[in-house]
């Protein structure tokens, strides 16, 4: 589905980003694996990618404009162009608003939201007609969070940027969409107790937590030519949590 395509995935050393990188490689893409600190984990992802297709590591904090620019330059030097950008990098530190300090707020907005501006701004000059930009947002962008106002705000901001770019880039035939995952079984919920996991599963109509592969499958669809007439949309992947 992505044979010959050149894709950058931010935050791809683990979790959802890792699953997307492997899924894209399975479908023939050349994959740029961005990571910040987890070098050994990123090397393992690259090893998996190279069993299927090809790719490179792209180290850097995409929340910093200069580092995002360097990442894009390194990718284009090897790949020649950018067909797909997946804005996946993110952090989530649970805390109630009364406890939320300015430093944590700024860090969350920088890594989750400003990174999207940084990457889109630097990638677009190398993206031609038929390009795809995908934002990995969150269910919390739609309903808010009692223990993560900074995270919910950053993920909601991504949707505003996504819709604006979808309108602006339509005349260039570049599709821009977002995925809003529900509760996915990744490091972000590693601190859940067994009781919290059980309670969460009970709330989900499909009676299971999501897997990173569930998000990667939808991301593959949006990155492929099958989604050429879809832009400016948010696809909720949450096991039926928002039915009704």
**Residue 98, in any domain of the structure:** yes
**Residue 242, in any domain of the structure:** no
Residue 82 confidence (pLDDT)? 98
Q: How far is CA 195 from CA 79, 140, 198, 202, 205, in A?
A: 47, 21, 5, 11, 18
Closest-CA residue to 184 (of 5, 17, 1, 9)? 17
Residue 244 confidence (pLDDT)? 53
The two structure tokens encoding residue 175:
């599709």
**Residue 41, in any domain of the structure:** yes
Q: Is the pLDDT of residue 147 over 90?
A: no
Per-residue pLDDT tens over the stretch 58-78: 999 999 999 999 999 999 999
Question: Which residue of the set 151, 192, 229, 242 is catalytic?
Answer: 151
Q: Is the pLDDT of residue 224 over 80?
A: yes
212-222 mean pLDDT: 98
Question: Helix, strand or coil for residue 7?
Answer: strand
27-45 mean pLDDT: 96
Indicate if 151 belongs to the active site.
Answer: yes
The parent domain of residue 90 ranges over: 6-237
**Residue 146, in any domain of the structure:** yes
Q: What is the mean pLDDT of the chain?
A: 95
Question: Helix, strand or coil for residue 105?
Answer: helix
pLDDT band at 201 (very low <50, low <70, confident <90, very high): very high
Q: Are 124 and 84 in contact (CB under 8 A)?
A: no
Residue 104 confidence (pLDDT)? 96
Per-residue pLDDT tens over the stretch 148-170: 999 999 999 999 999 999 999 99
**Residue 243, in any domain of the structure:** no
Residue 191 confidence (pLDDT)? 80
Q: How far is CA 241 from CA 15, 47, 66, 162, 200, in A?
A: 21, 35, 39, 23, 10
Q: Are 16 and 179 in contact (CB under 8 A)?
A: no
Residue 187 confidence (pLDDT)? 82
Chain-centre distance of CA 134, in angstroms? 7
Total structural domains within the chain: 1
Per-residue pLDDT tens over the stretch 176-194: 999 999 999 988 787 888 9
Residue 190 confidence (pLDDT)? 79
Per-residue pLDDT tens over the stretch 98-113: 999 999 999 999 999 9
SS (H, E, C) 190-240: CCCCHHHHHHHHHHCCCCCCECHHHHHHHHHHHHCHHHCCCCCCEEEECCC
235-240 mean pLDDT: 96
The enclosing domain of 164 has a CATH number of 3.40.50.720
List Cβ neighbours of 140 (8 Å cut-off, separation of 6 or more).
148, 151, 152, 155
**Residue 244, in any domain of the structure:** no
Residue 63 confidence (pLDDT)? 97
**Residue 1, in any domain of the structure:** no
**Residue 83, in any domain of the structure:** yes
């Amino acid at each position: 589905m992505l044979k010959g395509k050149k894709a950058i995935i931010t935050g791809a050393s683990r979790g959802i980003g890792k699953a997307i990188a492997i899924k894209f490689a399975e479908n023939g893409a050349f994959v740029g694996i961005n990571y910040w600190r987890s070098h050994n984990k990123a090397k393992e992802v690259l090893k998996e990618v190279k069993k299927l297709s090809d790719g490179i590591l792209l180290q850097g904090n995409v929340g910093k404009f200069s580092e995002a620019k360097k990442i894009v330059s390194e990718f284009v030097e090897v790949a020649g162009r950018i067909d797909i950008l997946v804005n996946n990098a993110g952090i989530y530190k649970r805390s109630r608003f009364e406890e939320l300090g300015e430093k944590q707020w700024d860090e969350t907005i920088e890594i989750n939201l400003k990174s999207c501006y940084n990457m889109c701004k630097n990638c677009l000059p190398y993206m031609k007609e038929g390009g795809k930009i995908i934002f990995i947002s969150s269910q919390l962008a739609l309903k808010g969070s009692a223990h993560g106002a900074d995270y919910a705000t950053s993920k909601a901001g991504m949707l505003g940027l996504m819709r604006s770019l979808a309108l602006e880039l339509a005349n260039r035939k570049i599709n821009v969409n977002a995925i809003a995952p529900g509760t996915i079984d990744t490091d972000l919920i590693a601190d859940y107790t067994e009781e919290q996991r059980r309670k969460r599963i009970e709330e989900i109509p499909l009676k299971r937590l999501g897997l990173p592969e569930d998000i990667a499958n939808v991301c593959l669809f949006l990155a492929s030519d099958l989604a050429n007439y879809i832009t400016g949309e948010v696809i909720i992947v949450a096991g039926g949590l928002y039915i009704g």
